[in-house]
Structure 1
Amino acid sequence: MSTPTPKPLPDNLDRGIFEQDENIANPPPREKFIPQRTFGTAAERARRNLNAKLSNPLAGFSHAELRRQGRNFALTHEIGDDEDVRAFELGAVLAQAPERYDSVAGLTSQEKEILRREFEHRWSQPWKMYAVIALCSLSAAVQGMDETVVNGAQIWYRHQFGIAGNKYRDTWLVGLINSAPYLCCAIIGCWLTVPFNHWFGRRGTIFITCCFSAITCLWQGFVSTYWAMFIARFFLGFGIGPKSATTPIFAAECAPPPIRGALVMSWQTFTAFGIMLGYAADLIFYQVADTPGIVGLNWRLMMASAMFPALVVCCFVFFCPESPRWYMSKKQYYRAYESICTLRYHKIQAARDLYYMHTLLEAENGMKLGQNKVLELITVPRNRRAMIASTIVMFMQQFCGVNVIAYYSSEIFLEANFAPASALGASLGWGVINFLFAIPAIKTIDTFGRRNLLLTTFPLMSLAMFFTGFSFWIPETHHTARTACIALGTYIFGIVYSPGEGPVPFTYSAEAYPLYVRSYGMALATATTWFFNFVLGVTWPSLRNAFTDQGAFAWYAGWCIVGWWLVLLFMPETKGKTLEELDQVFSVPTRFHAEYGLRQIPYFLKRYLLRRDVKPEILYEKEDVVGMGDVGHNA
């Protein structure tokens, strides 16, 4: 039987594995793409049209054909009884366009009410779904706490290990110890994501990585030399790397479409919560006195305290169901159905989402590209542009300078003549701000847009960095003004970072790559952010020693300006786009998008400064996906 020609999905429907929240009642306006000529051979055009085929494999089928497919799927894989077979018949129809449930014949009024409630009350979910949400949130908090307990602990262990001076050797050793986990993430940890997920599943990977986190955190509390601390922290990277890529995938694969984007976003929000907990632990254990036979009990308790949220995750991770999509990748269809039934209120919802996962996997497996998927990231222009944009936001997440504050804020405040307790308290204040201002991003990232958030916040982050650095020029005779300005500068930076460069990179990377290379793209994206995290952590003590505080902060303020230009020229907007439309967006040649970005500057000046009534230039057209794939060959 020939397959009908796929049709574009409705504008308000996002059916990817990493879908983002959309306003169903108010779909985004249609946009127009500048037509270009066709490039490449027939084989090259077929490869570039791959993502359009993956966007919705069920588009174009009649309801009768979809019912037949759903029934055959349930019977072939021996899933359930007659009630389950009926659920798959109706679920296959619903999978084509979930929001059109009113047009599906055979649904009872009760079933329609359940489907309606899914869209109108999207946070009304079964308790197992809330257990998954709690698990993913705690996993993110583990990571945040792993990152920041060292902030206060280093005040003491540097002296105990004999590396507290300003000598060249000492500054580099301090930086190397602090950044050791991110070196491991970049060169080993993140690249274990794919094999760990293949061997152990999503839950198993989270369990193993949290075990690594708990053991290494305890290990850090018992070391007595700087090289032993480096080794312990390096092994911590095995807990951070695979977990940072797996947890968002697990959340997205378990969540129903209406809340999927918010759950992917919650990774950054609860990482910020964990960062705040790390600062709180530093302040709690600050005044713990040494006991006979133990030197540095306070900093040892700080470092070891990060093991507790990891142990909580280990204790209840297997109370949550495994990802249904992972079961299906292992051909364990009945277990996948059992899993997703615990995550949905009704079997029809479960059958709908499971059958859609099946069609995506079949479409993905049917694509014979003829080369390594890692090479596909580079050789296919559409994928290469997504990789460039993702790499830019991941790189700038570090080189905006945020983790200078996250890892060294206590040292920075001590340099500003804060008392140790005040320095730790000021660091906790920054952590609270970082968490609280990350929460609104759950809404703004899908209303204001990823690109717009970055273009708005990068200049403000730059100004905050300049302000913080230049505040060190205030004479120490004006101590109150000096300390207030330094703290204010870091707090303003946290306020504008948290809804922008904080949540955007992971969300953007999760949606920019097409389905068939997404795991590899996410591994590359997380490796990028952790590598530059390592670079920033290892260089800051020496950078501050060489450039002074003023110059060191100005260095990262300058990078915020560079980041603004990179986003303007090379980062397309992905808000409110389906997979089909994202394929079109990333098929626009790089030079066309860069020219479009430059033309946005005079438009902004005319509209918002000169208050002229000018219409924005529109770059994309949502029709003619095949044509857009052809354009993608001309990089």
Structure 2
Amino acid sequence: MSLKAEGLLGDPVFEERENITDFPREPFVPQRTWGTAAERARRNLNAKLSNPLAGFTASELRTQGRNFAIMHEMGDTSDIRAFELGAVLAQAPERYAAVEGLTAPEKELLRREFANRWSQPWKMYAVVALCSLSAAVQGMDETVVNGAQIFYKPQFGIADNGSRSSWLAGLVNAAPYLCCAVLGSWLTVPFNHHFGRRGTIFLTCCFSAITCLWQGFVNTWWHMLLARFMLGLGIGPKSSTVPVYAAETAPPAIRGALVMQWQAWTAFGIFLGYAADLIFFQVADVPGIVGLNWRLMMASAMFPALVVCCFVFLCPESPRWYMGQKRYYKAYESMRTLRHHKIQAARDLYYMHTLLEAENAMKLGQNKIIEMITVPRNRRAMLASEIVMFLQQFCGVNVISYYSSEIFLEAKFSPKAAFSASLGWGVINWLFALPAFYTIDTFGRRNLLLTTFPLMALAMFFTGFSFYIPESSHSARIGCIALGTYLFGIVYSPGEGPVPFTYSAEAYPLYVRSYGMALATATTWFFNFILGVTWPSLRNAFTPTGAFCWYAAWNIVGWWLILMFLPETKGKTLEELDQVFSVPTRFHAKYGLRQIPYFVKRYLLGRNVKPEILYEKEETVPVQDLRFHA
């Protein structure tokens, strides 16, 4: 049979593959031959989730939408009409102009949805504000201790450089993240099930506010340890719930930006924490209160949490949560407040319903946690997710976040200069996270990491070796140490800062995604704890130079792990992601290694070589063969 008859002639993917030159290639293995029949069935079911309405006619979709509205008592005649048209639009929202029955004003409204994606109802902006403030609570909870520990450690008798004091100081600092890893993150599922997304955010912010105030009243290191451990109940479930709440309420056009804002506004909260430290560090004690300055620092983090608690219930509950509770009309009411028109609400709600039905069809007779390991596609997603979550901590960022003031003091900064330098790092961490809103979907997740990890390693080496500058050259010494940490923040913030949560949220198939995200958040908090608890002892044993070089080395290791084991997920549908993670790990590792000579030949030697294409789009099973309850 000819290439044209096979549909390959003129196919740019095929022609690029056939013209690859100048480096050895693995023989291409068709993706659909990998795995057993059961695994191929899982891939087909996952692909089905990319658009469960594909293949139905407009008439069939109208009937489905009308039946859904009547069955769940969605409202009057206008609401039934909205679901008839919404079901048709859900199949292909961008083809609104071809949908019969829409009026001219309705078509104009749908056109503006694509032309001006940030034109949203005020309730949608309330959700944006809620998610942003919740992220700021997170960042402030994490960093007010940066300056406070300089004052409370001498008061609690754990300030000397002895082994016991170093470990106790690290344990007190890292206690919230131990709680997140062993308890907090795993409470996400039951909290969300019983209290909803808003209820979980309210409870976790209450925990944060109470424990932050509690930290301001402690008088021993073990009392501080207990208060900070309980703070983890506010950090863990919130870090999993807020991105999910944003994704479930946002229209598709701004969903990625809303999920991405978690990292940007966490960075803003980190900046607020440093600002609070600088504001209160010169506060003098009053009669009967020792350490008023650090107590105000620790307690100040309660205020953003209280603001969230005051207005969280002014925002609508997640429609997805209502549907999971079989409260369909409440879901419709909620969605209507988040969209300009009931047709938009009906469209998004009906599509959500079909996705839930498709997820129910994913029950293949095995425990989902076990399937995360036993199903190769899931296992590869888990490997990639765990790598980026581990590296988010072991790149060394939170050494600076939690201990920068102490690091600058050790570099012979004055106390005010140390607090000011920490504030500067917080500003950089926030500002340079903002470009990721654009670069993560244009430059790509994997490319961002491969570019920034070598730069992070260089910044860590530069910071570490700057401690060798003699103290007699005071200005040069403190300038280089501050510059090294700032350069690290510049390259971390648009790369390993936002990528891990975004990557983990999209790598897993929908039917195991909640379990995958729970594991991902538990992983990052566990290694956050390891980093926080070991830094004081590591710094004493290795000296600051050795300690910074240790994390520089981990950035180099991370670059190799990303090169070989992290597939790109930018701009791919669920169907395409399923194909990406169906490539055997050894194939992808060898492909990653082959990219090194390609990069050298194309960008350093200027040779005209074409990139290797690893993935080819797999044929999907027609929707008629994959009914929801087959």
Whether the TM-score (by the shorter chain) exceeds 0.5 is yes
Name the residue aligned to 2:553.
Answer: 558
1:170-569 matches, cutoff 5 A? 170-569=165-564
Work out which of the residue numbers 78, 81, 84 in structure 1 matches 2:76. Answer: 81
Distance 2:32 2:106 in 1: 48
Query: Which stretch shows the higher mean deviation, 161-170 or 615-624?
Result: 615-624
Secondary structure at the aligned position of 2:518 is classed as helix
Change (3 A) 1:31 1:506: farther
Name the aligned partner's letter for residue 363 of structure 1: A
Which amino acid counterpart does residue 70 of structure 1 have in structure 2?
Answer: G
Structure 1 match to 2:144: 149
Structure 2: how far apart are the matches of 1:424 and 1:560?
27
Shift of the alpha carbon at 1:198?
A: 0.4
Out of 604, 608, 617, the residue aligned to residue 613 of structure 1 is 608
Q: How does 1:616-635 map to 2 (within 5 A)?
A: 616-625=611-620
CA contact (8 A) 1:31 1:619 kept: no
Cα displacement string for residues 457-498 of structure 1 (whole angstroms, at most 9, x for unaligned residues): 000000000000000000001010000000000000000000
Pick closer, same or farther for the CA change 1:522–1:305 going to 2, 3 Å.
Answer: same
CA shift digits 1:342-367 (9 cap, x unpaired): 00001111000000000011111133
1:30 to 1:216, Cα distance in 2 relative to 1, 3 A: farther
CA RMSD of aligned residues (A): 1.5
- Say which SS state the counterpart of residue 473 (structure 1) adopts: coil
- 2:32/2:618 contact within 8 Å kept: no
Structure 2 distance, partners of 1:86, 1:351, is 9
* Displacement of 1:38: 2.5
Contact 1:395/1:528 (8 A) holds in 2: yes
TM-score (norm 2): 0.94
What does residue range 106-145 of structure 1 map to in structure 2 within 5 Å? 106-145=101-140
Please list every run of 5 or more consecutive structure 1 residues that lacks an aligned counterpart in the other structure: 1-27, 628-635
1:451 and 1:567 in contact (8 A); partners too: yes
| Residues 372-400 of structure 1, C-alpha deviations (whole Å, 9 max, x = no match) | 11111111111111110000000000000
Counterparts in 2 of 1:40 and 1:481: CA distance versus 1, 3 Å: closer
Task: Report SS of the residue matched to 2:472.
Answer: helix
Q: Is the 8 A contact 2:336 2:342 kept in 1?
A: yes
Counterpart CA distance in 2 for 1:260 and 1:463 is 34
CA contact 2:31–2:582 (8 Å) conserved in 1: no
Q: Distance in 2 between matches of 1:435 and 1:36?
A: 41
SS of the counterpart of 2:413? coil
In the alignment, residue 326 of structure 1 is paired with which amino acid? W
Give the secondary structure class of the aligned counterpart of 2:467.
Answer: helix
- Give the letter for the 1:347 counterpart: K
What secondary structure, in the 3-state scheme, does the structure 1 residue paired with 2:583 have? coil
- 1:46 aligned to 36, 41, 64, which one? 41
Question: Unaligned stretches of 5+ in structure 2?
Answer: 1-12, 18-27, 623-630
In structure 2, do the counterparts of structure 1 residues 419 and 459 end up closer, same or farther at CA, with 3 Å as the change threshold? same
- The alignment covers a number of residue pairs equal to 600
2: distance between equivalents of 1:124 and 1:593? 41
The corresponding residue for 2:59 is: 64
Contact 1:279 1:431 in 2 (8 A): yes
Structure 2 distance, partners of 1:159, 1:91, is: 64
Give the letter for the 1:297 counterpart: L
TM-score w.r.t. the length of structure 1 is 0.93
SS in structure 2 opposite 1:247? helix
